Amino acid sequence: MAATPRPFSAHEWQIAWRYLGARREHGGISVIAWYALIGVMLGVATLIVVQAVMIGFREEFTDRILGANAHMTVYSTNYQNDAGQVTRAITDYAQTVETLQATPGVTHASPMVRGQVMASANGRNAGVDLRGQSAQDISKLPLIGTPESASGDLANLSQGIAIGEGVARELRVGVGDIMTIISPNGVQTAFGTTMPRLNDYEVVYIFKVGRYDIDQTRVYLPLEEAQYYFDREGTVDEIEVLVDKPDQIDSYRPALQAAIGQTKLMWSWKDSQGAILSALDVERRVMFIILSLVVLIAALNIISGLVMLVKNKGRDIGILRTMGLTQGAIMRVFFICGSAIGVIGTFLGVILGCLFAYYIQDIQQLIEGVFGGQVWDPQVRLLTEVPSRLRWQDVSAAMGMALVLSFVITLIPARNAAKLNPVEALRYE
């Protein structure tokens, strides 16, 4: 008795590839199947690119937050000062900074004065976020001390002011130019009215973080000068804290609260930006589901292609059955035909998607150069260019999803081919 060939043996692969390679007039694979292959390829590529851009946006957004802002900010609760005014100024900031820096996990702590003012130069005005810190403390922020691009020297901050590139562009100033800072909360006159406070400063440092809302509004003065300008000598508004593991900032809360006492409050970067990051995560998952449906629709075309192939190969199926091929062998032959479409489309899609995601910034520049305008508006997206981060888990998820869909969908027409009665298939031949 002859041994039964093992599943997916060489002759099954040979028959399947012969059917796939045959021309349509000879009963080969139909144009619909080619559409299915291209559809799967484009669907997988799109899924990879969208996931890479959304992950890149999240990571880049987070890096810009952590690179230009404190990981934790310490405030004071409301209290009444000696003049009977309700204030939140921190008077013991030197001692608090020293205590925070001694806390395990804290890499740096710095006092800061902050206020909203107007900057003016060359007949142009811009609202800016003025922060008073020492040059040494500012340099601890990675994207301020070592930004994407910079002009001037941060070490000269004691001689003037440091501004974001967007502010410099709006006011049309450069290093060495003079700009005026105007605060509506100025000095009291003898007539009981308040005059705006105006001070001129030389621009000594211009930085570009790469995040629109920071470059367009951020301005730095030396701490002592900012205290004098806002009339807050001997006090600060808040204390910035940097930790060694900012993604685990919540784990530092108990130790930090013990260090600052109950009269002060904390506000972490996750408190201020957590809603945006959560929304990005939800949007990424939803987009994966939506684009998976696109791949599913493309894969459904495999059924149409295989149905036509089975119809054209009815006579061949009858002959193969009379020669001794089992129903399982016939099913595997057509399963190979259909799954090959999905496998080839998936791998071509992975290659196309990875290449597109890797060169997406070059593609952005090409499109903007050819058609003009902006593909990525930094005023809306906050970042200055399209971010992209390829992760093996995202590529694997897209590839695995497409392969599973292709295999499952192929089973239906392959099973129908195996059930074809050889007598009926050869009756009219």
Per run of 10 residues, the mean pLDDT along the chain (length 429 residues) is 58 69 53 79 90 85 83 87 78 91 92 93 92 92 86 92 94 94 70 71 92 88 92 90 90 90 88 81 86 82 72 65 69 78 89 91 79 63 72 90 86 72 55
Q: What is the predicted pLDDT for the residue at 55?
A: 87
CB count within 10 Å of CB 143 equals: 20
On the 0-12 / 13-18 / 19+ scale of CB atoms within 10 A, 181 is buried
Q: What is the pLDDT of residue 138?
A: 92
User: Which two three-digit tokens encode residue 300?
Assistant: 């459904």
Angle at 210 between CA 249 and CA 356, to 5 degrees: 100
Phi, psi of 385, rounded to the nearest 5 degrees? -145, 165
pLDDT at 321: 64
Q: How far is CA 193 from the centre of its chain?
A: 49
d(CA 154, CA 149): 13
Amino acid at 20: L
Helices (H) and strands (E) in the chain, counts: 16, 12
Distances (CA, A) of 84 to 80, 89, 186: 6, 13, 20
Separation CA 63–CA 289 (nearest Å): 27
Q: Positive or negative, the Cα torsion across 224, 230, 236, 239? A: negative
Characterize 82-118 residue by residue with b for buried, 16 or more Cβ atoms within 10 angstroms of its Cβ, and e for exposed.
eeeeeeebbeebeebbebbeebeebebbbbbbbbebb
Q: How distant, in Å, are the alpha carbons of 125, 295, 296, 348, 387 from that of 50?
A: 39, 14, 17, 17, 11
Burial bucket for residue 221 (CB in 10 Å: 0-12, 13-18, 19+): buried
Q: Copy the structure tokens of residue 122.
A: 């060359």
Angle at 239 between CA 236 and CA 243, to 5 degrees: 165
Q: β-pairing, 124-132 with 218-221?
A: parallel
Report the candidate in 169, 170, 226, 227 with the shortest Cα–Cα distance to residue 201.
Answer: 226
In terms of Cα–Cα distance, which of 111, 137, 100 is closest to 243?
A: 100
- Secondary structure of residue 2 in the 3-state scheme: coil
Pair 119, 219: CB distance under 8 Å:
yes
> pTM of the entire structure?
0.71
- What pLDDT is stored for residue 143 in this prediction? 86
CA distance 249 to 35: 50
- Count Cβ neighbours within 10 Å for each residue of 120-140 and write b for 16 or more, e otherwise: bbeeeebebbbbbbbbebbeb
Q: How far apart are CA 109 and CA 349, in angstroms?
A: 48
d(CA 55, CA 406): 26
Contact between residue 227 and residue 236 where contact means Cβ atoms under 8 Å apart: yes
Q: For residues 69 and 246, give the distance between their C-alpha atoms in angstroms, rounded to a whole number.
A: 11
Q: Of 335, 386, 296, whose CA–CA distance to 13 is shortest?
A: 335
Residue 102 CA, distance from chain mean position: 34
